[in-house]
Amino acid sequence: MLQIGKQVPDFELVNQDGQPVRMRALRGKKVVIFAFPKASSITCTRQACAFRDEFPHISAHNAVILGVGADNPEALRQWKRNHHLPYDLLCDTDRRMLETWGAWGGFDVKQLIGFPPIKRSYWVIDENGVLLDQQIGVGARESMEHAVRKLAQVGV
């Protein structure tokens, strides 16, 4: 798990269109990242749509939203299109970012029906790449609510 008040590790992942997105390139903007277990599942869609609904408010204040999962780009592209998600969805198929950031691992009964062991999580990062808040293992709706609350505390 990452430490609040410390720089977050850099990563580069491809988005739903196969384009690289690098954490370091987002310096100068606040960043909200949320991890989801499986694109297009009911609960993950609830989580993604909660962030979608807050997108205008968050982006108007120099902040970016990114979703991260282990699905392939095509699955993420379809999910983004079907639910009109206005932010990038990133593919961490080798799980390096999710492991480093503390959201991969452990047993969940959903693994028995094909879900990867991703802990629904969120991170809020400031313009300098410093971690302001995180929660590993959070409810779908709560991930957005907690992240937005933290952004409000820092001026969003």
The residues assigned a catalytic role are 44
Q: Which three-class secondary structure state does DSSP give residue 21? A: strand
Taking Cα atoms as reference points, which of 80, 77, 63 lies closest to residue 26?
Answer: 63
Cα dist from 89 to 36, 120, 129, 155, whole Å: 10, 14, 19, 25
In whole angstroms, give the CA distance from residue 92 to residue 98. 7
Q: Which phi and psi (to 5°) does residue 74 adopt?
A: -65, -45
Cα dist from 120 to 17, 99, 108, 140, whole Å: 23, 13, 11, 7
Helices vs strands, H then E, count in the chain: 4, 7
